[in-house]
Amino acid sequence: MFRIISILFTTAFTACTATPEPLMLPQDAAETGVPVGVQTHTVGSLTVEVWYPAAEIHRGAASSTIDIGSYLPDSVKEVLGTPELPPITTIAVRDAEMRVPETPYPVVLFSHGFGGVRVQSNDITTHLASRGYIVAATEHAGRSIYDLLPCMFSPPLEGCNLSGMGGDDSGPGDMQQIVDWLQAENENKDSLFFETLDINALGVMGHSAGGGSTAALVDADPRFKAAIPMGGTGAISRDVPTLVMEGSCDAIVESDSIQAQYEAMPNAALATFRGAGHLAFSDLCDLDFGRFGEELLLPRDDINAFFVESLVELGTDGCPQKELIDPPNEDCANGYMDLEVSKIGIRQLMTEFFDGALIGTDPYAMTATDPSIEVITP
């Protein structure tokens, strides 16, 4: 009995006195910082992905891949099998050891768009984690890949749920549930996240319909101190630092609509990526969804062709695989903005904004390094 108590005491003492590991971040905000870990958790009815700064022992770990095909709903896989979609590469190490913080890490939540999935913007979520943030995301009922893809068939397969297209936004409630869970984990001595989170430094970002969820959440919940809606937004009347990101060649949520919302915000900056389409703020172009739709779906006689064609349009806007027959403006007369250029710009501006809003004093100390990215600050 004495030996067991001694071991437990030693383990607890070691955990409480572990030596913090400095972040050691590159000066360039677009550069990756420390290693990244990732875990998947069940929170009520939600499946939550959490990215976090990992211990230095994980530096140099080999990258891995995310198989989006495995995320398809069971009813779809029963009909199509598991399609071999191109994988998304990630630097995150599954169940890596947490990097012991010198001070608790700020927290940012991510919200996906229609037909999206919690890992759809892996480049963004892992980058923030590498720069010293805890980042969490989940699927939102009524607009996730799980709910929309069964609706491609005629008749619809089990699980078809289009409630998100009718204005029923589950995003804000889902993210508030995640915050409550993270708060409890921060106080749980048995949790990986024990005393590692600064819940008072809380931000949110979202893509497309997730941009609308981001706006609704930050406008209603004063716990959130900063917001980045991307490729879509809603009204924000609360005086909270906001960075609106848009693509000038986005045919899904057009610039005029986004700018009208931005101009009514009391405290916001606008970053326009000249030549970027809708999916520049995600990794979904990697999936080559246009080929998936045209080769695997549209030839079938049990497909709702109009719905599939709409999803293909959504799933290719801004992607290099899509040929622009009629460019919306001169910004993309020669094709969409290079995704590597937009990714670097997003990483830089996002990191500088959240660093200023959640850690520092000036969220708008941002300067885009590429001339095709235009930033307007208050």
Q: Which of 370, 371, 353 is nearest to 362 (CA)?
A: 353
pLDDT tens readout for residues 118-168: 999 999 999 999 999 999 999 999 999 999 999 999 999 999 999 988 778
* Position 5 confidence tier, pLDDT thresholds 50, 70, 90: very low
Instruction: Pick the more confident residue, 250 or 9.
Output: 250
- The predicted pLDDT at position 209 comes to 96
Domain count, the chain: 1
d(CA 58, CA 241): 34
In a domain, 5, yes or no: no
Residue 246 forms part of a structural domain = yes
What is the rounded distance in angstroms from the CA atom of residue 300 to the CA atom of residue 335? 31
Confidence of residue 69 (pLDDT cuts 50, 70, 90): confident
Confidence (pLDDT) at 17: 52
Per-residue model confidence (pLDDT) at position 48 = 98
Is the backbone peptide bond immediately before 155 cis, with ω within 30 degrees of 0? yes
Instruction: Report the length, in residues, of the chain.
Output: 378
Would residue 12 count as lying in a domain?
no
Residue 15 included in any domain = no
Asked whether residue 324 carries a pLDDT value surpassing 50, the answer given is yes
pLDDT value of residue 111: 98
b/e 287-324 (16+ beta carbons within 10 angstroms → b): bbbbebbeebbeeeeebbeebbeebbbbbbbbbeebee
The pTM of the whole model exceeds 0.85 = yes
pLDDT range class, residue 24, cuts 50, 70, 90: confident
Is 349's pLDDT higher than 90?
yes
Per-residue model confidence (pLDDT) at position 7: 32
Query: Nearest Cα to 253, choosing from 282, 280, 277?
Result: 277
Q: Is residue 11 in a domain?
A: no
pLDDT of 165 reads 83
* Residue 293 falls inside a structural domain: yes
Q: State mean pLDDT over 218-247.
A: 97
**Average confidence score pLDDT of the chain:** 92
363 falls within a domain:
yes
1 against 181, higher pLDDT: 181
Residue 103 backbone dihedrals phi, psi, to 5 degrees:
-135, 155
- What average pLDDT does range 240-269 have in this prediction? 97
Over residues 215-243, the mean pLDDT reads 97
CATH of the domain at 259: 3.40.50.1820
Q: What is the pLDDT of residues 30-67, one digit of tens each?
A: 999 999 999 999 999 999 999 999 999 999 999 999 98
In which band, very low, low, confident or very high, does the pLDDT at 1 lie, cut at 50, 70 and 90?
very low
Calculate mean pLDDT across residues 13-27: 76
Which structural domain range is residue 39 located in?
A: 20-376
**pLDDT above 60 for 169:** yes
For residue 80, is it within any domain? yes
How confident is the model at residue 280, as a pLDDT? 97
**Exposed (0-12), middle (13-18) or buried (19+): which is 340, by Cβ within 10 Å?**
exposed
The pLDDT of residue 8 is above 60: no
353, amino acid identity: F
